[in-house]
Amino acid sequence: MVFSSLYFIYLFLAVVFFAYFTRKNVAQKNIVLIISSLVFYAWGEPVWIIMLIFSALSNWYFALKIGENIGKSKAKLFAAAAIGIDILLLVIFKYTGFIIENHNLLFHADLSVPKIKMPIGISFFTFQAISYIMDVYWETVKPQRKFRKFLLYLSLFPQLVAGPIVRYSVIEQEIDHRKASAADINAGIKRAIIGLSKKAIVANSLYAIVEQFFGTDITNLSFFGTWYTVIVYSLYVYFDFSGYSDIAIGLGRMFGFHFDENFNYPFICKTISEFWQRWHISLGSFFRDYLFYMPIFGRPRKYLNLFLVWFCTGLWHGASWNFIFWGLYFGLFILLETKIGKKRLKKWNKVWTHIYSKLIIIIGFGIFYFTDLGQLGRFFANISGVSMITNGNQLWDILTWNSMLNNLFLIIFAIIVSMPVLQKIKYFFNEWGNNTVYMVGNLTGTAICCALLVISSILLVDNTNNPFLYFRF
């Protein structure tokens, strides 16, 4: 089941809401959320619920053992065992085929490549489990003694399959002590509707353009056609993933949970370092806190750790070399900016820093898109203009021109909304200090959200299979 389906919006969510808000206490409400989360996860693939429960059970057990042996060598062994099992499961289900394929290529072997279906959301709930184990080991949080409460944390359906990666410390107190106020429910509904409209209205429309040009062989795609499509794809990824995060955060807030933000208008960045402080924040902070400062051979090693962070960032996204290249590509620019230094970067002309950062980001999304390395090579040839010399490609073509004209307002709208324009408008109404202005702004926002929900619902009527991009990771 996905958030962007009418079954979820008008059936599943309605039933869960009724069952949840008719319960008398938090303990009963938690049971409702656990059952609904397991049903949500098992909707399409019931067999994988066994793995989710096993992951929850093993991490819960080892965390208890770590807590019982804090300060002893056994605590380290239990932490290693828990993380080892988590990583092993992730490798088996996500990377086995990739490892065997590369083994065959490197050693000219002919091992059979198994077709293992990856459980949805395994990368997200596995990282949540690892963060919990590390926090218990570092005594940042106390181990949760009730299995059902830990299962609720790991399986909570708003963030289960595509994040954000929620740390246990964020909702530790809210598991037992929370109350969804009218303001929380109102804000959560609006946030979820905005996320849904990002997906149904903007992201799906942008992806249709991407499929038109990148969905087939791009050998003969023009220079401007390649640039146009990869820019559209960059916007698509942002609206698709940030839309999911908005829905997750909104749903969580409706039930009294306050998840951390996962996106903060990343395209307004002036450097690549700033971009990654604003993009997929929960993943970036995970690698920063649990890997970058991790001692290797007795002490933290800055450059080796930096390499590992960006190698793992790429590999986390998928079992394909283009994702590894994508991670290392951004890691290289992070390294260059570190060498230059923040003070020097601040002295650069702001126009040039924006141009520099956007060029790097946009090209990076091209690397992200093409899992086929042959197509990736043609992408670089096209976007650099080399293919105009070697293959006689055109500078521009009529198909690209027509697509740009037909989708001009969509692209302009997407660019505007990706900036904090609406946030500033909302701030104006909320902070004006006049009750009438605030009421007008609130009523207008409610009316807009109602309209967005209607439009999104209409667009989803015939769209039965409408997954988010990050479901595959």
pLDDT tens digits, one per residue of 249-297: 999 999 999 999 999 999 999 999 999 999 999 999 999 889 877 776 6
Q: Are residues 414 and 456 in the same domain?
A: yes
Q: Are residues 65 and 140 in the same domain?
A: yes
pLDDT of residue 278: 95
Query: Domain boundary residue among 334, 357, 384?
Result: 384
Q: Are residues 47 and 171 in the same domain?
A: yes
Q: Which residues pair with 299 in a beta bridge?
A: 296
Residue written as token pair 């795609």: 221
Question: Does 17 fall in a domain?
Answer: yes
At 38, the amino acid letter reads L
Question: Does 1 fall in a domain?
Answer: no
Q: Determine the average pLDDT of the residues in 86-90.
A: 94
Token digits of residue 299: 């002490």
Q: Are residues 316 and 334 in the same domain?
A: yes
Q: Are residues 48 and 140 in the same domain?
A: yes
Q: Determine the average pLDDT of the residues in 126-144.
A: 94
pLDDT of residue 152: 95
Q: Determine the average pLDDT of the residues in 108-124.
A: 86
Q: Are residues 14 and 163 in the same domain?
A: yes
pLDDT of residue 330: 97
Q: Which positions ≥6 away from 320 have C-beta within 8 Å?
A: 98, 371
pLDDT of residue 426: 75
Query: Domain boundary residue among 340, 359, 384?
Result: 384
Domain that holds residue 326: 270-384
Query: Domain boundary residue among 125, 160, 178?
Result: 178
Mean pLDDT check: name the lowest of 88-97, 381-390, 416-425: 416-425
Is the separation of the CB atoms in 75 and 66 below 8 Å? yes
Question: Does 144 fall in a domain?
Answer: yes
The torsion angles phi and psi of 93, rounded to 5 degrees, stand at -85, -25
Is the separation of the CB atoms in 322 and 373 below 8 Å? yes
pLDDT of residue 67: 93
Closest C-alpha among 160, 161, 232 to residue 203: 232
Token digits of residue 400: 């690209």
pLDDT of residue 296: 66
The torsion angles phi and psi of 23, rounded to 5 degrees, stand at -80, 150
Q: Are residues 340 and 240 in the same domain?
A: no
pLDDT of 208 over the 70 cut? yes
Q: Are residues 252 and 343 in the same domain?
A: no
The torsion angles phi and psi of 434, rounded to 5 degrees, stand at -120, 125
- Eight-class DSSP state of 472: G
pLDDT of residue 201: 93
Query: Percentage of the chain with pLDDT > 90?
Result: 69
d(Cα 26, Cα 31) in Å, to the nearest integer? 9
Q: Are residues 361 and 401 in the same domain?
A: no
Q: Determine the average pLDDT of the residues in 391-396.
A: 90
Q: Are residues 40 and 157 in the same domain?
A: yes
Question: Does 220 fall in a domain?
Answer: yes
Question: Does 240 fall in a domain?
Answer: yes
Number of domains in the chain: 3
The residue ranges of DSSP E strands in 176-237, in sequence order, are: none
CA angle centred on 85, ends 281 and 176, rounded to 5°:
60
pLDDT grade for 473, boundaries at 50, 70 and 90: low
Mean pLDDT check: name the lowest of 104-108, 249-253, 258-262, 301-305: 301-305
pLDDT of 123 over the 80 cut? yes
Query: Percentage of the chain with pLDDT > 70?
Result: 96
Q: Which positions ≥6 away from 250 have C-beta within 8 Å?
A: 187, 188, 189, 190, 191, 192, 193, 194, 195
Over its C-alpha atoms, the chain yields an Rg (Å, rounded) of 23
Q: Are residues 198 and 302 in the same domain?
A: no
Q: Determine the average pLDDT of the residues in 16-42.
A: 93
Q: Determine the average pLDDT of the residues in 21-34.
A: 93
Average pLDDT of the residues of the chain: 90
Q: Are residues 107 and 185 in the same domain?
A: no
Q: Please state, in angstroms and as integers, the Cα–Cα distance from residue 420 to each residue in 229, 263, 398, following that order.
A: 24, 12, 34
Residue 324: its H or E element? helix 321-340
CA angle centred on 196, ends 194 and 201, rounded to 5°:
95
